[in-house]
Amino acid sequence: MSEKPSKYYVTTPIYYVNDKPHIGHSYTTILADVLASYHRLLGIPTHFLTGTDEHGQKVQQAADANGITPQEQCDQTVVRFQELWKRLEIQNDDFIRTTEERHKTVVQQTLQELFERDEIYKAEYEGWYCVGCERFFTEKDLVDGNCPECGRPVDKIIESNYFFRMSKYQDWLIKYIEDNPGFIQPSFRANETLGFLKNKELQDLCISRPKSRLAWGIELPFDTEFVTYVWFDALINYISAVGYKSDEEQFKKWWPCSTHLIGKDILTTHTVYWPTMLKAMNVAMPESIFAHGWWLTGRTKMSKSLGNVVNPMDMIDSYGVDAFRYFLVAEMTLGQDASFTEEAFVKRYNADLANDLGNVTNRVLNMISRYCDNKIPAASAGGFDTALEDALWKETVLAADEMGPMVGNMKLDASIALVMTAVRKINVFLQERAPWSLAKQEGTEAEVAHCLYTAAECLRVCAALLYPVMPEKMLALRNALGMADAKPQLDKLTEFGVLVPGSLISQPGALFPRIELEEEEKKTTENPKKQKQKQQPKKKEDPSKDGLITFDQVMAVNLKTAVVLEAEKIEGADKLLKLQIDLGGERRQLVAGIALHYQPAELVGKTIVVVANLKPAKLRGVKSEGMLLAASVGDKLKLVTVEGEIGPGAAVK
């Protein structure tokens, strides 16, 4: 942020409640959260809005398919979004549902006003309709007779409808976009919209649906036979949520919005429909609309039918919230598409978090513990050569200073790369300065203290810069450095000497335990959903092309009964339990993903079945020597147990 704005209002698209949230929804919301957090930590009044788009055909169809009412569909699905945002540590200030009265009233008032001002009129319409996109197209728009947006077949429709006079704003909009280069970002998206506007005549926008065809929507205030077109309803959320037509003071405080974050799929609705609607309503334009790219699975588009949609809950369960947030923000260059693969995730996690950040944290804390009696040491005024310390601090400050403008320009991946470079420099500094050698010499206490104090200060700055992306882990790191306040203040970041000498440090344990690949294999075998995805490539290696295994292969698996002796939860891993088992005279430790299905106490004494000859692995840093068997359907999971008088260690065949 080159110039500190007086306020920051950021929005995500409001998500359809026809299905549960996936990685794409998570991404936009995490992005908004990171941006909101940076601004808050800079002391800028910030408002972060997200929510759900609950009307329209998609929701109606999902409700029909599930045999429930549309309102039930909304009420059941909205919780899944809200739960996910909670788990992802999303700190939104408001959550709007378009079925709320506060929104519906504003939509109806807006429609009435536009109708009275003849911005909306009734006409007979004949055209092509795409149910998936919920949009009308003219014959000319179609590509090979199909929807130009999604390629799916379209239906011919002839009916009376209400239209918004969008066409009359075509020239104005072209000029507005040209005069305001930052309005649509990245700039190639502005060109895309301009291309669209310059190459064809803008049509008026059909903003109604006859109830006979679709009843699930906001009724038109001037004709009760119709409901409002879902996009006309949905876009208004950005203003209805901040007091438009209901709370003038609040509206003045937040509008115009600083950034509407959207995916590239909804560029036209946000850069053509929305600005022209606002213009007709005499409401100021948002400052910017930023369209990010798509997350692909490998190189393929994620889709339910291909079964390659990444479920954010699975990722959080396996790797934790902060690592997931980190990967998404660090991996995608804003504006471009990015590929999501678990391999790439593990690679980046191990390189950046386990190796670089985890390593430097351990080194700094361990050395302060060893050489400074567990207390933050004091910096020295001089008396010895501090060139290396001075250079390190200067570079860290430079990174912090460069980060602001980068975030302001939505270069989030680059800004993270910058901080990680600063982290690596602390490691290099420690290597060069070698406080462990220094400490062996007489009379070097002040020098060692100064070296470690500087490293800790630099780590403090890096932790603060990464705080918006990884709030939980960076808070743990701040606490470990003996800082009492929960949140960093980014505008006071680069004052040297914030850590208080004498304050006690603590060891947070491994912040980012390394993920070993063999653990990954184990995890996937414990997670039936992932097992499905991962088995595909393995099948290729399998010499038996029919997917069947031989008798010998079965016999190679050593299944045995075991009795559970002890069970306990694993801190920071919601799904995992640590079990001590008796395998027939041999005691072993097992980590199993069953914590959501069993309380530790109810497991003790059970005779279960385990794979006894599985290669040991570590899960979340905890050793596991075997795997238990369980059956699962949907969300249910039951352990395979043995009844009767069979003790531990019996072979299961």
Residue 53 sits in the site that holds ligand MSP (CB under 6 A): yes
Considering only residues 301 through 330, tell me which ones interact with ligand MSP, judged by CB under 6 A.
Answer: 302
Which residue, 25 or 578, has its beta carbon nearer to ligand MSP?
25
> For 48-78, b where at least 16 C-beta lie within 10 A, e where not — what string?
bbbbbbbbbbbbbbbbeeeeeebeebbeebb
Which residue, 84 or 235, has its beta carbon nearer to ligand MSP?
235
Residue 286 sits in the site that holds ligand MSP (CB under 6 A): no
Q: Please say whether the dihedral angle defined by the alpha carbons of residues 21, 23, 24 and 25, taken in this order, is positive or negative.
A: positive
Q: How far is CA 81 from CA 16, 21, 25, 536, in A?
A: 10, 6, 9, 30
Alpha-carbon distance of 186 to 335, in angstroms, equals 6
Q: Which of 12-20, 100-108, 456-464, 623-631 is the region at the interface with ligand MSP (rule: CB under 6 A)? A: 12-20
Q: Please say whether the dihedral angle defined by the alpha carbons of residues 129, 130, 135 and 140, taken in this order, is positive or negative.
A: negative
Dihedral, CA of residue 76, residue 81, residue 84 and residue 90, to nearest 10? -140
Please compute, for residue 523, the number of CA atoms within 13 A of its CA located in the half-sphere on the CB side.
23
Which residue, 341 or 613, has its beta carbon nearer to ligand MSP?
341
Q: Which of 111, 147, 257, 262 lies at the binding interface for ligand MSP (CB under 6 A)?
A: 262
For the record, the structure tokens of 537 come out as: 């490539």
Which residue, 131 or 565, has its beta carbon nearer to ligand MSP?
131
* Sequence-distant (≥ 6) Cβ neighbours of residue 643 within 8 angstroms: none
Q: How far is CA 200 from CA 163, 170, 171, 264, in A?
A: 19, 10, 12, 20
Q: Which of 24-32, 251-259, 371-379, 576-584 is the region at the interface with ligand MSP (rule: CB under 6 A)? A: 24-32
Q: Which of 125, 222, 251, 294 lies at the binding interface for ligand MSP (CB under 6 A)?
A: 294
> For 287-325, b where at least 16 C-beta lie within 10 A, e where not — what string?
bbbbbbbbbebeeeebeeeeebbbbbbbbbbbbbbbbbb
Q: Which of 63, 120, 177, 266 lies at the binding interface for ligand MSP (CB under 6 A)?
A: 266
The CA radius of gyration of the chain, in Å to the nearest whole number, is 29
Q: Which of 136, 229, 295, 324 lies at the binding interface for ligand MSP (CB under 6 A)?
A: 295
DSSP string, 352-388: IIIIIIHHHHHHHHHHHHHHSTTB-------SS--HH
Nearest to 49 by CA among 28, 64, 72: 28
Which residue, 237 or 454, has its beta carbon nearer to ligand MSP?
237
Residue 216 sits in the site that holds ligand MSP (CB under 6 A): no
Residue 27 sits in the site that holds ligand MSP (CB under 6 A): yes
Residue 137 sits in the site that holds ligand MSP (CB under 6 A): no
336 DSSP 8-state letter: S
For the record, the structure tokens of 81 come out as: 């979004």
Least Å distance between CB 545 and ligand MSP? 33
CB atoms within 10 A of CB 189: 21
Residue 265 sits in the site that holds ligand MSP (CB under 6 A): yes
Least Å distance between CB 302 and ligand MSP? 5
Which residue, 93 or 331, has its beta carbon nearer to ligand MSP?
331
Q: Please, are residues 78 and 52 in contact by the beta-carbon 8 Å criterion?
A: yes
Least Å distance between CB 257 and ligand MSP? 12
Q: Which of 24, 70, 217, 312 lies at the binding interface for ligand MSP (CB under 6 A)?
A: 24
Report strand pairing: 338-340 vs 559-570: unpaired
Considering only residues 407 through 466, tell me which ones interact with ligand MSP, judged by CB under 6 A.
Answer: none
Residue 14 sits in the site that holds ligand MSP (CB under 6 A): yes
Which residue, 70 or 263, has its beta carbon nearer to ligand MSP?
263
Residue 13 sits in the site that holds ligand MSP (CB under 6 A): yes
Residue 235 sits in the site that holds ligand MSP (CB under 6 A): yes
Q: Please, are residues 356 and 430 in contact by the beta-carbon 8 Å criterion?
A: no
- How many residues touch ligand MSP (CB under 6 A)? 19
Q: Which of 25-33, 102-110, 151-159, 201-209 is the region at the interface with ligand MSP (rule: CB under 6 A)? A: 25-33
Nearest to 390 by CA among 482, 473, 301, 455: 455
Q: Which residue minimizes CB distance to ligand MSP?
A: 24
Which residue, 14 or 357, has its beta carbon nearer to ligand MSP?
14
Q: Which of 28, 161, 271, 624 lies at the binding interface for ligand MSP (CB under 6 A)?
A: 28
Q: Which of 14-22, 447-455, 470-478, 525-533 is the region at the interface with ligand MSP (rule: CB under 6 A)? A: 14-22
Least Å distance between CB 243 and ligand MSP? 18
Alpha-carbon distance of 129 to 282, in angstroms, equals 30
Which residue, 161 or 297, has its beta carbon nearer to ligand MSP?
297
Q: Please, are residues 477 and 359 in contact by the beta-carbon 8 Å criterion?
A: no
Q: Which of 7-15, 347-355, 388-396, 631-639 is the region at the interface with ligand MSP (rule: CB under 6 A)? A: 7-15
Q: Which of 8, 9, 15, 128 lies at the binding interface for ligand MSP (CB under 6 A)?
A: 15
For the record, the structure tokens of 323 come out as: 């690592």
Least Å distance between CB 25 and ligand MSP? 5
Residue 259 sits in the site that holds ligand MSP (CB under 6 A): no
CB atoms within 10 A of CB 641: 15
Residue 234 sits in the site that holds ligand MSP (CB under 6 A): yes
By CB under 6 A, name the binding residues for ligand MSP: 13-16, 24-25, 27-28, 53, 234-235, 237, 262-263, 265-266, 294-295, 302
